[in-house]
Amino acid sequence: MELIWNQININIAATSVMTRMVLPDLEAKGRGAIINISSVGGSSPQPMIEVYAGSKAYVDYLSLGMSGQCARKGTQIKNQIHLNDYVWFSGVTIQDITPAYVVTDMAKAHGEHVKESFFMPNPIRYSSHALSTLGFSNKTCGYWTHSLQMALGNLFCKLNHLVIKMIFKILSEN
């Protein structure tokens, strides 16, 4: 039970409270950034780590919601992608970073042979890449191989659903 409450307190309560605490000062200054860390694991249900996954999904939605809230309070500027459209920008960036595995003590606790690889960067490499995305996107995996892993994972989930639907359709016709 202690592990469950720790995950809820850290990922949900602390993230919500800290975001709410610093946001008014950043908005008053008209600039700043809040970076919240969710997880690729929060992008879909995860058996055996469902509380962790659910709490990370919360961080994702909190960040996206707060980002929209900040934008609505801001000033109107030209959208750089669609120049005929306007977007609201408060000067405050709220970014959600959704990493996959990074070689940390937490990752090592879940596997004996966790070491840096093409898909699993060390914290220095990961944070350098993640920080370079600040201001470009309010949601990022932070590292290009993590984005690739997430895209492939989403593709496999969609294909899996399509295959299951096709099997049920075939079975129901017989």
138, 93 contact by CB (below 8 A): yes
129, 102 contact by CB (below 8 A): no
Point out the catalytic residue in the list 52, 101, 126, 143: 52
CA–CA–CA angle 68, 94, 122 (5° rounding) = 140
Nearest one of 41, 22, 21 to 31, comparing CA atoms: 22
Does residue 86 carry a catalytic annotation? no
Helix (H, G, I), strand (E, B) or coil at 143: coil
Nearest one of 14, 17, 34, 12 to 139, comparing CA atoms: 34
Q: Which residues are catalytic?
A: 52
